[in-house]
Amino acid sequence: MTDGVLTLCLSSAMSLAEPASDSAPFFSSDSEAEGPDDQPAVQPEESASGVSKVRALLTVLILCYINLLNYMDRFTVAGVLPDIEHYFGIDDSKSGLLQTVFICSYMFLAPFFGYLGDRYNRKFIMSFGITFWSLVTLASSYTPKEHFWALLLTRGLVGVGEASYSTIAPTIIADLYVKGKRTNMLSVFYFAIPVGSGLGYIVGSQVSNVAKDWHWALRVTPGLGLIAVLLLLFVVQEPKRGAIEARPEHQLHQTSWLVDLQALSKNRSFVLSTFGFTAVAFVTGSLALWAPTFLFRAAVFAGERAPCLEAHCASSDSLIFGAITCVTGVLGVASGVQVSRQLRKRTPRADPLVCAAGLLLSAPFLYLAIVFAQASTIATYIFIFLGETFLSMNWAIVADILLYVVVPTRRSTAEALQIVVSHLLGDAGSPYLIGVVSDSLRKNDSFLWQFRSLQLSLLLCSFVAVVGGAFFLATALFIEQDRNRAENYVLTDDEPIVVPKSGRSTRVPVSSVLI
């Protein structure tokens, strides 16, 4: 079953990697992009970025591979969570901390790496982070039973490495491609989120089953991570920031970090879409950690499976949920991009509208999946399939929104801010919150209340999805204006001078406060 899932995921992802005809520079008009005269612009595009076509494609594929490992490692723990709970003898609230400490360190370090990513060599920053992440993940697999705190500490340190990558990788793709090609490549890149998440459940649970020890599940990704570092160092080429999008009259200057923050805080499309994406993070973070455990408890409550009373909890729920996550992620990302592309022909507000529709449609299906869990396993999986498909429509589109409403010199900082906000209010606390609510609702330790308390706490996800849809609807009101401002970022004669602590002046256009 695992081989079939991998084949389907990879074939679907590669189908979207085919180059699109829309290759005009980002600052050009749509009419120019669609005309027959845009073909000669291909060669200047390559020379502007400083990276050849072949090297650019290899770079995207390597970044996709690393992103897949990123999410595969992140959700391996969720695939063996019943084993971890039994091994350490912990309750739901402490189990939720495993995801929360990781997200918190990842979230707080994202602005630091975003600052570095806008100013220094991005390839070397990512290489350091991935090496650190791989070593810490390997160390976490040797945690003894008496030291649950050590597992929490190492999971927190894993966030250091992942923050160095997630804030920077999308900006490299943005500096390699524009317009339709950029959207396609971002789609392939964000396929790695659901595919990697699904593989985390699958690989984690299957390796644990084979080895009869959950520790071995954490020893798979470190070796693959070191391979990724070698590919980064010897294959990936650093593109020039913003060169592929620039026009002669659009001279981009590096501004201070404080000015960047002020400008981004006044970018309404960026702010509102970030809050919308926060709802996505809240729901996916909750489901990512708790869904396999919830399905296992539902099966125990329904008498379909024996309870976990031994050191190793054999279950197919992580495998099935991982397969669903993989397939629905591919379908969701692909359908979201295609629907948005068709809708753009009718309205420039297509992207936030598609994101809103995805969240609003996912809410009722997730609610039904949670409610019907004890009554019908098949119905539950069907509703999860539909809910996750609609939820996954957002990934690539939200990334594209950020890249075209923010000027190139602020993109890593914008990525970092979006990571901080979406995790701080989203999946940093949601797994722990679900666990705390579950423990507070549980009247006793019977199998009935182990299932029922977690079921009631997970219903919160549907409500949050509706709130997120409302934020994306609000984004649609400002998206056209903010995109035009970013595309027509022109220096003016009345630029103030900013003198940082280094003593070197930086020119800041007045228009920057609007972008």
CA distance 23 to 38: 7
Q: Which residue from 223, 205, 232, 420 is spatially nearest to 296, judged by alpha carbons? A: 205
Q: Which residue from 515, 510, 450, 509 is spatially nearest to 252, judged by alpha carbons? A: 509
Q: Is the pLDDT of residue 25 over 50?
A: no
Which pLDDT score is estimated for 450?
A: 78
Which pLDDT score is estimated for 309?
A: 57
The band of 491, judged by pLDDT with boundaries at 50, 70 and 90, is very low
Least confident of 126-130, 173-177, 188-192, 490-494: 490-494
The band of 218, judged by pLDDT with boundaries at 50, 70 and 90, is confident
Which residues 6+ apart lie within 8 Å of 50 measured at CB?
237, 239, 240, 243
Tallying the residues shown for the chain, one arrives at: 515
Which pLDDT score is estimated for 17?
A: 42
3-state secondary structure of 334: helix
Query: What is the DSSP track for 180-193?
Result: HHHHHHHHHHHHHH
> In the numeric block, which tokens belong to residue 342?
């068709």
pTM given for the model:
0.66
Alpha-helical (H) ranges within 344-426 are: 350-371, 377-391, 395-405, 411-422
CATH number of 2-303+321-514: 1.20.1250.20
Mean pLDDT confidence for 89-104:
78
Whether the CB-CB separation of 241 and 170 falls below 8 Å is answered with no
What is the percent of the chain with per-residue pLDDT over 90, rounded to a whole number?
A: 19
CA distance 1 to 3: 5
Give the position of tokens 């679900």.
434
CA atoms lying within 13 Å on the CB side of residue 31: 0
Looking at this protein, which amino acid is placed at residue 287? L
CA distance 440 to 434: 10
Q: List 506's β-bridge partners, or say none.
A: 498
Q: Is the pLDDT of residue 383 over 80?
A: yes
Which pLDDT score is estimated for 382?
A: 92
Mean pLDDT confidence for 237-247:
67
Which pLDDT score is estimated for 231?
A: 92
Mean pLDDT confidence for 50-72:
86
Q: Is the pLDDT of residue 103 over 80?
A: no
3-state secondary structure of 328: helix
Q: How far apart are the first and last CA of the chain?
A: 48
3-state secondary structure of 498: strand
Which pLDDT score is estimated for 210?
A: 83
> In the numeric block, which tokens belong to residue 89?
């003898």
Which pLDDT score is estimated for 319?
A: 76
- Fill in the DSSP letter of residue 27: T
Range with top average pLDDT, 178-187, 470-479, 494-503:
470-479
> In the numeric block, which tokens belong to residue 201?
């459940």
Mean pLDDT, the chain, as a whole number? 77
Largest CA distance in the chain: 75
Least confident of 64-73, 93-102, 488-497: 488-497
User: What are the pLDDT digits (tens) for 140-150?
Assistant: 888 888 788 88
CA atoms lying within 13 Å on the CB side of residue 258: 5
Whether the CB-CB separation of 392 and 333 falls below 8 Å is answered with yes
Q: List 507's β-bridge partners, or say none.
A: 497
Range with top average pLDDT, 96-100, 105-109, 126-130, 475-479:
475-479
Looking at this protein, which amino acid is placed at residue 135? L
Least confident of 248-252, 352-356, 478-482, 491-495: 491-495
CA distance 43 to 53: 9
Q: Is the pLDDT of residue 8 over 50?
A: no
The band of 384, judged by pLDDT with boundaries at 50, 70 and 90, is very high
Which pLDDT score is estimated for 5?
A: 43
Which pLDDT score is estimated for 246?
A: 54
The band of 329, judged by pLDDT with boundaries at 50, 70 and 90, is confident
User: What are the pLDDT digits (tens) for 400-412?
Assistant: 899 889 987 788 7
The band of 247, judged by pLDDT with boundaries at 50, 70 and 90, is low
Q: Strand 497-498 relative to strand 506-507: parallel, antiparallel, unpaired?
A: antiparallel
Q: Which residue from 122, 115, 117 is spatially nearest to 237, judged by alpha carbons? A: 122
Least confident of 78-82, 185-189, 415-419, 500-504: 500-504
User: What are the pLDDT digits (tens) for 164-185?
Assistant: 887 788 888 888 887 778 878 8
Domain boundaries, given as residue ranges, for the chain = 2-303+321-514
User: What are the pLDDT digits (tens) for 255-277?
Assistant: 777 888 888 989 999 999 999 99
Which pLDDT score is estimated for 299?
A: 79
Provide the 10 A C-beta neighbour count for residue 184.
21
